[in-house]
Amino acid sequence: MTSIQAIIIAIVEGLTEFLPVSSTGHMIITTSLMGISSADFTKLFTVVIQLGAIAGVVVYYWKRFINLKDFNFYLKLIVGVIPVLIVGFLLKKKVDMLLERVDVVAWSLLLGGIFLLFLDKIFKEEKVTTQEQMSWLDAFVVGIFQCIALVPGVSRSAATITGGLYRKFNKTIAAEFSFFIAVPTMCAATIKDLWDFKKAGLSLTSNDLMLLCLGNLVAFVVAILTLKYAMNYIVKHGFKSFGVYRILVGATILIMLASGVNLQLI
């Protein structure tokens, strides 16, 4: 992986992490086009740089995260992340195999896009309008929905926001909790991937460490710039346009694959 490739992937991550379009799916497509998707370091890189984007959440909502007196907030995050930790641990090998499947990403984008077209109409009732009104059960249910996003292309953001809407959150609270729960989720995913990387007898070179630092920095800056836009757009316009975008991208990739086009173009 070159520095330019690392920067491009990190920009893709920062732009897509908080939108219901699947950052992982977009990074798989991007690395496939670059011809580096199957490399062990690439797989590690696409997970670890999500920490940079997630750090953007902590900085953007710093008042929320430094309020150590609000134990309920932290407990809800812990409760919410439990399902994906269990399912992710049990299905880690199968999930890793899917990370090289561009066709899986394409189908997930397409089918998820169709679902997003109707999401605003499916969940209209709003009872939870503040973070304090959210119960531990609400957090746990959102965590269960997050497990669906282990399939590349589904979108962690789309899954958790849908879980929030299912529990009658308004769009603001659903989007915010989706951002918040990403913090412990991605921290755990990064630690697990680094451990597996080392356990497999692989090691990071000084160049690898430089690329990881560069990727996290770029993802952090882009995510900070994207966060406010993502929140405002979702609250004002809903999910239909994201659905259309996902359908177009997913259908395009599937057509390319069916036509025998080699995605490893760069």
Q: How far apart are CA 49 and CA 186, in angstroms?
A: 10
pLDDT at residue 12, as a whole number: 93
Q: Give the model confidence (pLDDT) of 166-195 as tens digits.
A: 999 998 999 899 989 988 988 888 888 788
Q: How far is CA 265 from the centre of its chain?
A: 25
pLDDT, position 11: 95
State how far Cα 198 lies from the chain centre.
24
pLDDT at 191: 84
Confidence (pTM) = 0.86
Query: What per-residue confidence (pLDDT) applies to 264?
Result: 58
Give the tokens for residue 102: 């561009």
Which residues have CB under 8 Å from 197's CB, separation 6+? Answer: 40, 44, 204
Neighbours of 221 (CB within 10 A): 16
Name 128's bridge partners: 169
In terms of Cα–Cα distance, which of 174, 190, 60 is closest to 123? 174
Span 25-51, pLDDT tens digits: 888 888 888 888 778 888 889 888 988
Q: Is the separation of the CB atoms in 18 and 149 below 8 Å?
A: no
Q: State which residues of the chain have pLDDT below 50.
A: 265-266
Please answer whether residues 60 and 185 qualify as being in contact, where contact means their C-beta atoms are separated by less than 8 angstroms.
Answer: no
